[in-house]
Amino acid sequence: MAKRVGVDKWLFGTVLLLVLFGLVMVFSASAVMAKSMFGSPYFFVTRQAIWASLGLVAMVLLMKVDYRLYNNPKVVFPAVGITALCLTVVFAMRDSHNTHRWIKFGGASFQPSELAKPVLVLFLAYFLQTRIHQMEDWKGTILRAAAPPLFFIALILKEPDLGTAMVCAGVLVLMLYLAGAQTRYFLIGFAGAAPVLYYLLFHVAWRRARMLAFVNPEADPRGSGFHILQSLIAVGTGGVYGHGLMEGIQKLFYLPEPHTDFIFANVCEELGLIGALFVVALFCMLGYRGLRTAFLTTDPFARFMAFGLTTAILIQAFFNISVVLALLPTKGIPLPFISNGGTSVFITLAGMGVLLNISREID
């Protein structure tokens, strides 16, 4: 198959649109809060713009680096080891809101669970590329493929961060499915995970409160149901056209985390159904171009890499939007490229650089 002269311009343009749109919405959602808390309406958007700029630089550089360089045990296993170390070091850090998710140094912070997603994809791509015809070997292939991702997931659950852990689990399942793993292995895995998930959801007090609020948020509108109700108010009052950019009301100390986990609710309120569909369309385009790259490449390693990087973003976007629309219980998952969060936008953009490099290899 002929080598493409340049990268996938549709994918590149979609990523740029998502980043620019995200910066506009971060400013809109955070300006009043930033002015009240830090004395400047530009506090959050300035930091996000710096990280987004660094991420775009990383994306441009990485899309010029041959992806085959990553298909090397000298790259894969140090990446797995460093990620595992970072996921462990967070527990030595001072907690924030009763969680251990960040490594803090000076005035900056780094969230290792964001790094875990592309490293998980890298490991699985490297491991599975030569075992496509050995997927019936549960001990030599399935178990060995799942061991490092499950270790990552266990550490992320310990932070605790169930949402990111579920994203990682989803990527693991889909990549094993792409490799040809048989259905019975997924059924066995689900049977083993179900009791753990049940315990985490119904025997941890604050998660149980979220589950009950998801079923009946009106029962505790000022407590456990507050997030869901305020999100639905923002979505519902936006109508078709929205109130206009910067004109949202719910972000004025009603909607929790309007610039991070619930930024899509602010999009719906200010830009209405049209703005919401625009965001969904961008993610659909990204998914289409990313999966197209995965299935048109003839290199198994590239196929797994492109598939994993794309599905990680799609799963995360699906979870975030579903939470905002009260289709899933509340969980802290950012909307890729759009939610405020330096580590998230930088690492996601770096991953897109790898995906864009792979896109050079197809017609």
Token pair for residue 264?
């899509």
261-292 pLDDT, tens digit per residue, is: 999 999 999 999 999 999 999 999 999 999 99
> Comparing 308 with 215, which gets the higher pLDDT?
308
Give the pLDDT mean for 126-131: 95
pLDDT computed for residue 1 by the predictor: 45
> How do the residues of the chain divide into helix, strand and coil, expressed in percent and rounded to 5?
70, 0, 25
pLDDT computed for residue 5 by the predictor: 61
Token pair for residue 332?
């802290």
81-106 pLDDT, tens digit per residue, is: 999 999 999 988 877 667 788 888 77
Q: How far is CA 249 from the centre of its chain?
A: 27
| pLDDT higher than threshold 80 for residue 3 | no
φ, ψ (nearest 5 deg) of residue 17: -60, -40
Contacts of 37 (CB under 8 A, 6+ apart): 43
Rounded to whole angstroms, the Cα distance separating 326 from 214 reads: 7
Token pair for residue 108?
């900056």
38-67 pLDDT, tens digit per residue, is: 999 999 999 999 999 999 999 999 999 999
Token pair for residue 303?
């196929």
Pick from 298, 308, 279, 289: nearest CA to 356: 289
